Copies of this chain bind each other. A is one copy, B any other.
Amino acid sequence: MPERFVHPVNVTWGDCDPARIAYTARLPYFALDAINAWWEAHLDGDGWFQMEIDRNVGTPFVSMAMEFRSPVTPRHTLMCETFPTRLGEKSISFAVNGSQDGTLCFEGRFTCVFTIADKFKSQPVPADFRAMIEPHIRAE
């Protein structure tokens, strides 16, 4: 069974709005940072930048859905548990569940398609990516 991957985010003053909680539009940023960090952790340090430029593999998003359960604040580190939930022929889905001090703050679901980056054309999941990803897939 794969280890849980958790990306920590230090939420600060600048992330907050006048209600003293993280501004809603910051939360997709945090979730995408977590997905990028998941790639870095599982692909020899390569995130989207290196995937695109060095490996010519893009993974643009086709959908995102987030449920906001509890406000995110600077009081605790935001722990973003991140894992792939499904690997299709040409796509990958991720869950990113953010919590602070043991309280679930948001649940996010994201789907990306694989592309040949310099052609912005979809492609099947490359074989080396598939081999790396499959052991990490978990049900939501």
Contacts and interface: CB of A to CB of B under 8 A. Distances in A.
Interface of A: 10, 12-14, 16-21, 23-25, 28-29, 32-33, 36-37, 47-50, 52-53, 58, 60-68, 71, 73-74, 117, 120
A80 to B, nearest CB: 14
B25 A32 contact: yes
B19 A17 contact: no
For the residues of A in contact with B, the DSSP-based class is mixed
A68 B52 CA distance: 19
Contact of A74 (B13, B20, B47): B47
Given A65-B64, A74-B49, A16 B14 contact: no
